[in-house]
Each structure stands twice: as C-alpha cells, then as structure tokens.
Chain A
Amino acid sequence: MAEILIRVVEHRHSTPATAHLHIGAYEVVVIRDNGWPWSRKELNNPDWRVIRIPNTTMDALTNWTDSQLMEDGALVFKRVNRIDHQISQVQSIIDSWRTGVVNDISTGDRNKLINAVVDKRGT
C-alpha cells in the first residue's frame, strides 16, 4: 500500500498562464509509504485529501509526481499527470474523500483512479 496527498482545489493565484508552475486540482503533491505520519495540518487542509491506495507501492505510483523540464531547465509542467475527474464515477469517488482522516479506498476504486490518470503532455 501507499498513501498520497492530493490537491483537490486549484491554487487561488493560478491563472491559465501560470498553471504549469503549480500543482493543480486532482494532481498529487507527494507520495509516501503506507502508515506515513501525516501532520494535523496536512490532514485538515481543505485543499488536500490523503488517500491510502491498496495493492500498490510508492515506486509504482512515482510517476504521479513527475515534472517535466526542457533541456535548458525550463519548466514545462510541475506535474505531468493528473486524475481526470470528469471520467465516469471518478468525481463521485473524489467527492467521498474527507479531510481530517486518511481515506481508504477499495481496489475497484483504485483501478478507476489509475485508469483516470492522464498525461497532460498529450492533452
């Protein structure tokens, strides 16, 4: 198992011109091993949710936090991947997550989330 801290709200100061510099809604901030001791502030942040992902490892999810740089170091995307919340049933899964706790999800929901991850470079 692994745990992710995911942003569910856009940054207030994000604009279309600067969106690539920020971690956007439905993008993963950080991944940690199962049982990670999250702080109270992390668990209660209304912009974030903490999710325990079953039957996987940190290494298997690490591309969820990939960024993209150009050869000269120019930042293309702070996060390359995001979860497409518009895919059927994904929004309802996300809506079920609460602040203040580590949210457990089923293997079925895990599969739906993994299938909903899209590479922004292709969109």
Chain B
Amino acid sequence: MPTTNISSIGTSSRDYSTIPSWEDDTDDNLVLADTVEVGACYNDSEFLITSSFSIVGATADATRHRILTAAAGESFIDHVNVATNDLNYDQSNGVGIRCNTGFVNLLLNQEDYCKVTRLQLKKEDVGSSRSVYETGNPGTNQSIQNCIVEQAGNGNAVYIPLSDLTTNCLFIVTKSGSTYAATRVAFNTTGMQNCTLVAPSDLADAPAMGLEANTSASSFVVKNCAVFGFDLAVTGTMDTTNSGYNGTDGASFIGSNNQTSLTYADQFQNTTLSGADFRLKSGADLIGAGTSDVDPAADEDIIGTPRSPYDIGCWQAPAAGPGYSPNQSMWHVFQSPITEWRVI
C-alpha cells in the first residue's frame, strides 16, 4: 500500500510557506515512489494566489496521487461552531485561499486523480478567469469535495471537463450579470452530487447559468444538487436518464424527480450578498427530497453530518431531537486507501 507523506503549508514554521513550493517539491513519479502526497494547509493567514498556480506534472494513478487540503483542525469543517456558522466563504472559520490577480485562474488542477478537499477558495472580481479549473489536458479524474468556492468576478466557479465526481461543494457566484455558469462541464465528466450552486438573490442582475455543458457531456449525472439564483438553472447536454432529485427555483431541470420553481428564500438561512448563509433552513423543500442512490462520498454532507434521509444540496439539515453531532474531523474525506502515515 502507498505511503502517505503529509506536508504542512502555512507560515515559516511549516514545511512550506507557499502552496506553489509544496506543489513543485512533490512533483514526482508518485507511482514509482508508491506515495500519496498530501499538502495540508494551516490557517496561519489567508493564502494569496498572485500568479498562475497549477497542480500538474506528477505521475499519478488512482491510489498514488496528490491531495491539497486543510490540515486536521484547520478547515471551516473543523470550526467549533461549524453547525451554526454562516455557510459562505469566511477565512476566519478555516483555511481560505484567495486570488486577487486578474486573468489568473485560482487553481488549475491538471493532474490525474488530484483531489482538492476541505478548503475555501475565492476568486476576486479582477479579470475574467476561473476559481477552479480541472482541465482535461493533461489530467483526468481530478476531483473537488467538501469545499466552498466563491467566484466574485467573471468566470466559472468551477470547470470540470473529464473530472471525477464533484461532491458536497458550495459554489457561489457573486458577480452581478455574469454570463458565465457557476459550474461548467464538458466531455465525459462523471457527475456532480449534493452540491449547492447559488447566486445571491439581491444581485442587480442575476448571473446567466447555474450549470452548463458547453459541449456534449452526455454521461454527466447530476443528483441531489441545489441550483438557485440564476436566469437559467441548467443548459446543455447531460445524462437525463440517470440524473434527478435536484432542486431549483428554475422552471425545469434535467432528469426526473426534481423539485422545480421553488421559492429561493424558503430554502436557505440567508440568500443575500451581505448576509449569505447557504445552510438549509427549517421547512425547506430541499429537506429529505434527495435520493440515497449516490456515491458513498455523499453519504455525509459538507461538514460531515450523516445523511438520512438525503437532503438536496451540500448541507444536510440536522435531524430533530438530541444526538446530532457532525463529524468535525472529516479527515477521512481523503484517507482511503491510506494505511501508513508519515509526517515529513
């Protein structure tokens, strides 16, 4: 079984003071080395991306690859008040990575099986570019799980051609009148489950699209996703046979068993730009309206709350009564199939 090397990233007391230096130092043949390289970010301060940042170059496969994540105890997921904090980008709650440079994608994930988890990412309103771009050349089967991604400028919050399943993420578009989809898919991307795609309800001009297939993505399956605040919830060719159990304020969605024409304000705690909080609110139509026929990665929500019954979106409303306790470690999100830990 592969050895897992966990490297800390943060201030000078960590292994690396920048994410690009971790990326370059672990750019290796991970298959030959039989290792998983984990970049574990610490919330010593907000990470700033000021120029092109790509994860690319390492030779990887399904069991030997790179993972960029928050260190144990450092993610918004690990915050003591995670169940009551506003669900929105807030670096004071956990590791945040922000890009304030124009025409620079915040994170280009171009490497086979590279996984991004437990992070908050924000692209400022500077020059058209994406927050997360999992390009398909090179690299396939990249994934993003349990992340908050805010796109404040023109560009997609995430573009995922040829990627693996996208699960338990909140994608927020805060650019009024943006003509870019919150999530853009293409080709043979696997699908998206239990994600929330939103634009604040008080933007002067609603962004154009929530979910877009810009070329045929006929195998792309969308399940248990919430899409609100856009002119058009979904557009393009996707798998209509296997998609379903989504919720939207739009008039229609792909697949079956969808909840459509829902009232936006009835679903989330706060849908405005200044007070955004995309946790489900009591009585939301999305509660219990999802399907259990999802990947195991979606069996718990963005903060580790077990799903039963399955809500739509990244957030699972707490079950009534005592005993509710989100799994605040969520370290297991990337653990399997790790058997040996070696801190370097």
Contacts and interface: CB of A to CB of B under 8 A. Distances in A.
Contact of A23 (B12, B27, B137): B27
Query: B51, B56, B137, B161 — which one has the most chain A CB atoms within 10 A of its CB?
Result: B51
A75 B27 contact: no
A18 interface: yes
Given A69-B135, A73-B136, A7 B24 contact: yes
Nearest to A11: B27
Given A11-B57, A38-B17, A62-B101, A67 B52 contact: yes
Interface in A73-97: 73-75, 78
B29 A42 contact: no
Interface string B244-276: 000000000000000000000000000000000
A22 B59 CA distance: 11
A13 B51 contact: no
B110 A75 contact: yes
Given A31-B51, A42-B17, A66-B52, A37 B11 contact: yes
A55 interface: no
Interface string B76-116: 00000000000000000000000001000000101000000
B24 A23 contact: yes
Contacts, number: 90
Given A29-B24, A30-B20, A58-B50, A39 B57 contact: no
Contacts of A22: 27, 57
B17 to A, nearest CB: 5
Contact of A78 (B56, B101, B161): B56
Interface of A: 5, 7, 11-13, 18, 21-23, 29-32, 36-42, 45, 47-48, 58, 62, 65-67, 69-70, 72-75, 78
12 contacts: A11-B57, A13-B59, A18-B57, A21-B57, A22-B57, A38-B17, A39-B11, A58-B50, A74-B138, A75-B54, A75-B110, A75-B138
A5 B51 contact: no
Contacts of A40: 12
B17 A62 contact: no
A74 B21 contact: no
**The 5 residue pairs across chains A and B that have the minimum distance between CB atoms:** A73-B135, A37-B12, A74-B137, A30-B20, A65-B51
A75 B25 CA distance: 19
Contacts of B59: 13
User: Interface size for chain B: under 10, 10 to 19, 20 to 34, or 35 or more residues?
Assistant: 20 to 34
A75 B135 contact: yes
A37 B17 contact: yes
Interface string B9-44: 001111111101100110111001000000000000
Contacts of B228: none
A87 B20 CA distance: 28
B130 to A, nearest CB: 10
Contacts of A69: 108, 135
B133 interface: yes
Contacts of A45: 25
A36 B17 contact: yes
Contacts of B25: 41, 45, 47
Nearest to B159: A73
Residue among A45, A70, A78 with most chain B CB within 10 A: A78
B137 A75 contact: yes
Contacts of A47: 25
A31 B48 CA distance: 11
A77 to B, nearest CB: 10
- B11, B17, B32 — most chain A CB neighbours (10 Å): B17
Contacts of B24: 7, 23, 29
